[in-house]
Amino acid sequence: MLQAQIFIDKDEVFGSQPLYEFIVQFLLKHKVAGATAFRGTIGFGEHHQVKRPDSLFSFDEPPMLITFIDEEEKVLDVLKELRKRVSSGFIVTSKVERF
Protein backbone atom coordinates (compact mmCIF):
# COMPACT_ATOMS: atom_id res chain seq x y z
CA MET A 1 0.00 0.00 0.00
CA LEU A 2 1.13 3.53 -0.73
CA GLN A 3 -0.02 6.80 0.83
CA ALA A 4 0.10 10.05 -1.13
CA GLN A 5 -0.08 13.46 0.49
CA ILE A 6 -0.69 16.50 -1.70
CA PHE A 7 0.09 19.93 -0.24
CA ILE A 8 -1.51 22.97 -1.91
CA ASP A 9 -2.73 26.46 -1.01
CA LYS A 10 -6.44 26.69 -0.19
CA ASP A 11 -6.96 29.63 -2.54
CA GLU A 12 -5.68 27.82 -5.65
CA VAL A 13 -8.31 27.11 -8.28
CA PHE A 14 -8.73 24.73 -11.19
CA GLY A 15 -11.07 26.31 -13.70
CA SER A 16 -13.94 27.64 -11.63
CA GLN A 17 -13.59 25.39 -8.57
CA PRO A 18 -11.15 25.21 -5.68
CA LEU A 19 -8.17 23.02 -6.55
CA TYR A 20 -8.65 20.82 -3.48
CA GLU A 21 -12.22 20.04 -4.60
CA PHE A 22 -11.01 19.25 -8.11
CA ILE A 23 -8.38 16.86 -6.70
CA VAL A 24 -10.86 15.04 -4.43
CA GLN A 25 -13.31 14.69 -7.34
CA PHE A 26 -10.45 13.50 -9.57
CA LEU A 27 -9.54 10.82 -7.02
CA LEU A 28 -13.18 9.77 -6.72
CA LYS A 29 -13.50 9.53 -10.50
CA HIS A 30 -10.37 7.35 -10.60
CA LYS A 31 -11.83 5.09 -7.91
CA VAL A 32 -9.10 5.36 -5.30
CA ALA A 33 -9.94 3.59 -2.05
CA GLY A 34 -10.57 6.85 -0.18
CA ALA A 35 -9.32 10.40 0.27
CA THR A 36 -9.50 13.15 2.88
CA ALA A 37 -8.79 16.88 2.64
CA PHE A 38 -7.48 18.72 5.69
CA ARG A 39 -7.22 22.47 6.25
CA GLY A 40 -4.11 23.70 8.05
CA THR A 41 -4.48 25.76 11.22
CA ILE A 42 -0.94 27.17 11.47
CA GLY A 43 2.22 26.86 9.44
CA PHE A 44 4.90 28.54 7.37
CA GLY A 45 6.41 28.16 3.95
CA GLU A 46 9.59 29.06 2.11
CA HIS A 47 9.38 32.70 3.23
CA HIS A 48 9.37 31.62 6.91
CA GLN A 49 6.41 33.76 7.85
CA VAL A 50 4.04 32.06 10.28
CA LYS A 51 0.47 32.01 9.02
CA ARG A 52 -2.48 31.67 11.37
CA PRO A 53 -5.58 31.64 9.18
CA ASP A 54 -7.93 31.18 12.14
CA SER A 55 -6.63 34.23 14.04
CA LEU A 56 -8.83 37.27 14.42
CA PHE A 57 -8.23 39.74 11.55
CA SER A 58 -6.03 37.28 9.66
CA PHE A 59 -6.16 37.31 5.88
CA ASP A 60 -3.83 34.31 5.57
CA GLU A 61 -5.08 31.46 3.44
CA PRO A 62 -4.68 28.09 5.11
CA PRO A 63 -2.71 25.35 3.41
CA MET A 64 -4.60 22.23 2.32
CA LEU A 65 -3.51 18.63 2.56
CA ILE A 66 -5.23 15.93 0.52
CA THR A 67 -4.23 12.42 1.49
CA PHE A 68 -5.16 9.03 0.06
CA ILE A 69 -4.03 5.41 0.30
CA ASP A 70 -4.38 2.60 -2.22
CA GLU A 71 -2.33 -0.11 -3.88
CA GLU A 72 1.07 1.25 -4.96
CA GLU A 73 0.48 0.86 -8.70
CA LYS A 74 -2.91 2.59 -8.45
CA VAL A 75 -1.50 5.54 -6.48
CA LEU A 76 1.38 6.03 -8.91
CA ASP A 77 -0.92 5.83 -11.94
CA VAL A 78 -3.39 8.34 -10.47
CA LEU A 79 -0.60 10.76 -9.52
CA LYS A 80 0.83 10.53 -13.02
CA GLU A 81 -2.57 11.44 -14.51
CA LEU A 82 -3.13 14.20 -11.94
CA ARG A 83 0.25 15.79 -12.73
CA LYS A 84 -0.83 16.10 -16.36
CA ARG A 85 -3.52 18.53 -15.17
CA VAL A 86 -2.04 20.15 -12.04
CA SER A 87 1.49 21.50 -11.77
CA SER A 88 1.42 23.28 -8.40
CA GLY A 89 1.85 21.90 -4.92
CA PHE A 90 4.00 19.18 -3.43
CA ILE A 91 3.42 15.43 -3.35
CA VAL A 92 4.87 13.13 -0.72
CA THR A 93 4.48 9.36 -0.91
CA SER A 94 5.24 6.72 1.68
CA LYS A 95 4.67 3.03 2.05
CA VAL A 96 2.06 2.04 4.63
CA GLU A 97 0.87 -1.24 6.10
CA ARG A 98 -2.67 -2.43 6.66
CA PHE A 99 -3.37 -4.12 10.00
Interval 27-49: pLDDT, tens: 999 999 999 999 887 777 777 87
CA 97 to centroid of chain Cα atoms: 21
Contacts of 27 (CB under 8 A, 6+ apart): 35, 66, 68, 78
Examine the pLDDT at 59 and tell me if it is beyond 80. Answer: no
pLDDT at 42: 74
Model confidence, pTM: 0.85
